[in-house]
């Protein structure tokens, strides 16, 4: 089989690319996805996000290596394994990042990735419920809605943030990011607005678009330094599929570097050690791994306004029936809709902390139900200095890679995480929350010293599920792709996903990933 373009991965970026590249009927496009369809109620129901996160049919369910600065804990690293990828199981928070994030990218030598250059692509993505303006788009394919969740704890939390001296921001994707408010969400008419639903499904019947699901790419095929195709297992048979124009890798921050290394692109010493023939020595492949590390500040709640109510059989059944009948009620929300961005100290150049308020306790990534009413603030430094890696376990494509985030390797990350706790405690102690607030469960009011907080963080901090950076774009010797996302030293091969981010943005990563894919589509179609 031959196609003009082969897209490896039908996640967030892959769905965007599939739509845009196939708009021209002269382009013959194939998209290859290891997982299956995502058109199931567990994906569509916003509050059911944990079901697919823990189901190996829909999730890769990666784990890190023992993290040396987190008491050697192995951290869960879920990644979507279905059409729509992680957009089909994420928290549905739509945050672009701070203007300064992209100015930092520009300062890395990536002039075409300045805030002014990428803003049109953010606008192009969204059909925003607030309407078109200088910063927001209303003609895009993806519904982006201002949250209308009326849980009383959200109102109380935002009141507490204001009482703490922080401004309320009605649009954290608008002119400025700093402040607290209700996040934009990709929830529409009571259902998850996944990228597959709004980019891929409407065009899946195009004659020039071929979607291969449950198809595992084992290797990229090269002719010298030119990518020409892939070896892919389809229905237990390995086939070769060839690309006439380009091969585009959109597997995500774990799978993209993994496939590059399996195919002979990466640090030559590492590849040789694993018995892989070196196609191109590119030392940055799999390096520069970044993520947001969250610490939970947990409070008992004295009022029955939390999601603990819906862990009981009868309320749970009633809420489920309500959603199935009318796409309304508790199951039509994600409950991750309130939060904000702030500075831990006034001298900070830009907000260095992101908060998510959640009206429940979260235990073991939702696998264990809470045993009481409670709520928590998820607090994470926006720009961690620690860096990790993705490396090979073996040359077997079905053998999971080694993932080491190295969280808190840099002492400043630990310091900023402690600052997160101090700011969170300040907010949670304000009068607006007084009638709701019980005792502090985590870290616990008795934990005040730096050493006590350090131990709490090391024993309890968890991923925000934002891995990125492992095929970074740039001009330095560790860059994997150039400014146009082409793999350095290789013809006809690009990487388009969160792995190309040189530095993690101050944001949940779905919106920035979609921006990258929209911009990449233009680059490809214009032969840049």
The residues that are catalytic are: 466
Q: Is 43 exposed, middle or buried (0-12, 13-18, 19+ CB in 10 A)?
A: buried
Q: Judging by beta carbons within 10 Å of its beta carbon (0-12, 13-18, 19+), is residue 135 exposed, middle or buried?
A: middle
Rounded Cα gap, residues 166 and 172, in angstroms: 14
Strand partners, 299: 375, 440
CA distance 184 to 166: 19
Pair of tokens at residue 73: 């804990």
What does residue 373 show for φ and ψ, rounded to 5 degrees? -70, 135
Can you tell me whether residue 51 is helix, strand or coil? Answer: helix
How far is it, in rounded angstroms, from Cα 83 to Cα 14? 9
Could you tell me if 190 and 47 are in contact, meaning their C-beta atoms sit under 8 angstroms apart?
Answer: no
Chain center to CA of 280: 29
Question: Two tokens at 414?
Answer: 């630990």
- Which of 4, 465, 487 is closest to 228 using CA atoms? 4
The string of DSSP codes covering 225-264 is TEEEEEEEEETTEEEEEEEEEEEEE--HHHHHHHHHHHTT
The number of helix segments (H) and strand segments (E) in the chain equals: 13, 26
DSSP summary character for residue 478: T
Residues in the chain: 528
């Amino acid at each position: 089989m031959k196609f003009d373009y082969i897209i490896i991965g039908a996640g967030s970026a892959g769905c965007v690319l599939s739509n845009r590249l196939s708009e021209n009927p002269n382009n013959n496009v194939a998209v290859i996805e290891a997982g299956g369809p995502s058109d199931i109620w567990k994906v569509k129901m916003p509050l059911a996000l944990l079901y697919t996160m823990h189901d190996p049919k829909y999730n890769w369910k990666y784990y890190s290596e023992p993290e040396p600065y987190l008491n050697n804990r192995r951290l869960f690293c879920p990644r979507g394994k279905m059409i729509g990828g992680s957009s089909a199981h994420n928290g549905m928070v739509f945050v672009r990042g701070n203007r300064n994030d992209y100015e930092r990218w520009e300062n890395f030598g990536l002039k075409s990735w300045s805030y002014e250059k990428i803003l049109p692509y953010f606008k192009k993505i969204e059909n925003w419920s607030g309407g078109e303006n200088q910063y927001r788009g209303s003609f895009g394919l993806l519904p982006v809605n201002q949250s209308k969740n009326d849980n009383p704890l959200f109102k109380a939390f935002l009141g507490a943030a204001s009482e703490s001296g922080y401004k309320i921001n009605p649009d954290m994707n608008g002119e400025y990011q700093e402040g607290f408010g209700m996040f934009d969400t990709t929830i529409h008419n009571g259902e998850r607005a996944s990228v597959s639903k709004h980019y891929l499904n409407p065009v899946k019947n195009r004659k020039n678009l071929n979607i291969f699901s449950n198809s595992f790419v084992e290797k990229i095929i090269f002719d010298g330094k030119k990518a020409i195709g892939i070896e892919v297992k389809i229905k237990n048979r390995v086939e070769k599929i060839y690309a006439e124009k380009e091969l585009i890798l959109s597997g995500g921050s774990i799978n993209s570097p993994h496939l590059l290394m399996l195919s002979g692109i990466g640090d030559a010493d590492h590849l040789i050690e694993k018995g892989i023939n070196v196609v191109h020595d590119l030392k940055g492949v799999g390096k520069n791994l970044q993520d947001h590390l969250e610490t939970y500040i947990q409070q008992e709640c004295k009022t029955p306004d939390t999601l603990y109510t819906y862990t009981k059989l009868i309320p749970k059944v009633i809420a489920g029936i309500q959603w199935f009948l009318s796409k309304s009620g508790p199951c039509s929300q994600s409950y991750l809709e309130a939060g904000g961005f702030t500075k831990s100290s006034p001298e900070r150049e830009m907000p260095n902390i992101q908060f998510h308020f959640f009206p429940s306790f979260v235990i073991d990534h939702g696998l264990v139900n809470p045993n009481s009413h409670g709520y928590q603030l998820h607090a994470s430094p926006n720009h961690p200095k620690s860096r990790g890696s993705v490396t090979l376990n073996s040359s077997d494509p079905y053998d999971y890679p080694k993932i080491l985030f190295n969280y808190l390797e840099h002492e400043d990350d630990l310091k900023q995480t402690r600052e997160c706790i101090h700011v969170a405690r300040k907010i949670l102690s304000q009068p607006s929350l007084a009638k709701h607030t019980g005792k502090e469960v985590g870290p616990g009011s008795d934990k005040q010293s730096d050493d006590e907080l350090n131990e709490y963080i090391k024993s309890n901090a968890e991923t925000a599920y934002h891995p990125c950076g492992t095929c970074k774009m740039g001009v330095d010797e560790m860059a994997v792709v150039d400014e146009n996302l082409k793999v350095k030293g290789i013809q006809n091969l690009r990487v388009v996903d969160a792995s190309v981010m040189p530095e993690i943005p101050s944001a949940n990563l779905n919106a920035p990933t979609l921006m990258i894919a929209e911009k990449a589509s233009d680059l490809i179609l214009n032969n840049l």
